[in-house]
Amino acid sequence: MTDDLREYNFAYLDEETKRMIRRALLKALAIPGYQVPFASREMPMPYGWGTGGVQVTAACLVPEDRLKVIDQGADDTTNAVSIRSFFARTAGVATTERAAEATLIQTRHRIPETPLREGQILVYQVPIPEPLRFLEPRETETRRMHALEDYGLMHVKLYEDIARHGAISTAYAYPVKVAGRYVMDPSPIPKFDNPKLESAAIQLFGAGREQRIYAVPPYTQVVSLDFEDHPFEASKPDHPCALCGATDSYLDEVITDDAGARMFVCSDTDYCATRQAGGAA
């Protein structure tokens, strides 16, 4: 297997495909939040496992990169381990689990707690790139709505949340407006992560099945949609992490036995492990 993979091109994809993705990435950066169509390829993994993110990563990697892959904040889940080893084999890049040491981070549904810096690229795996899709199923219509900057329907949706539940109940994939123009789905990150979308790093989004690429350049205004009397709130479970004691990180609820015992632990395993090693608990 390993020997066979060495026969593949650098970073798996052929050069013509990479050029096509690279052109889409440049236009995506030039029009922040706009979804650029691209000719997504079949990858050696099923749709839904990060084929969009993997193609963007493949088009961006250089041999000098140090790659980190996370799935819901964790470095050690099947998806993260598989993608990390895929690029270690096909691109020969170094890998790491430390967010601070990585030059390129591919993520499924989280932004690392450690603030990202210039020189880093964050690649998101995106299932449904169109923020308006569940409100309007027709692509022709949603494309027109973006063209006309017609986002009233999204505000109606958030308003209906308030009317039914007393608050905006959307907890993940919380819609944002990028650079004052395009409404964008930040991928299913918890809304706790939305403030981190304004970052020093380059953020690239790849949706393989839906064949879309979009981007947020560094230092770009990203506003979570809300109302004056119901302002956006980046919420998280109201507990400290049971392992490291952090009160500022996003937490997963873990069931620990059949009797309903539970604990809350950091979703970002690197952040939690670093704090534990430093004796923060």
Partner 1 sequence: MESQSLTGGFSDPPVMSARAFRAALEAMARPGTIQRIEGAEAPAPLSPAAATLILTLCDGGTPLYLTPGYDSAEIRAWVTFHTGAPLVARDAARFAVGPWAALAPLADYAAGTADYPDRSATLIVECDALRSDGARLTGPGIRDAAHLALPEIAAFQANAARYPLGLDFFFTAGTQLAALPRTTQVEAG
Residues with a known catalytic role: 33, 241, 244, 266, 272
The footprint of partner 1 (CB under 8 A) covers 9-11, 15-16, 18-20, 22-32, 34, 36-37, 59-63, 118, 121, 143-144, 147-148, 179, 181-182, 200, 202, 215-221
Residue 147: what are its φ and ψ, rounded to 5°?
A: -60, -40
CB of 22 to partner 1, least distance (A): 5
> With respect to partner 1, which residue has the nearer C-beta, 16 or 258?
16
> With respect to partner 1, which residue has the nearer C-beta, 118 or 233?
118
> With respect to partner 1, which residue has the nearer C-beta, 54 or 202?
202
CB of 171 to partner 1, least distance (A): 27
Whole-number Cα distances in Å, 20 to 4, 51, 60, 197:
25, 16, 12, 26
Amino acid at 264: F
CB of 67 to partner 1, least distance (A): 13
Whole-number Cα distances in Å, 96 to 86, 109, 250:
14, 19, 21
> With respect to partner 1, which residue has the nearer C-beta, 31 or 100?
31
> With respect to partner 1, which residue has the nearer C-beta, 118 or 160?
118
CB of 37 to partner 1, least distance (A): 8
CA angle, 209 as apex, 110 and 142 as ends, to 5°? 90
> With respect to partner 1, which residue has the nearer C-beta, 147 or 163?
147
CB of 29 to partner 1, least distance (A): 5
Separation between Cα atoms, residue 139 and residue 123, nearest integer Å = 24
CB of 193 to partner 1, least distance (A): 20
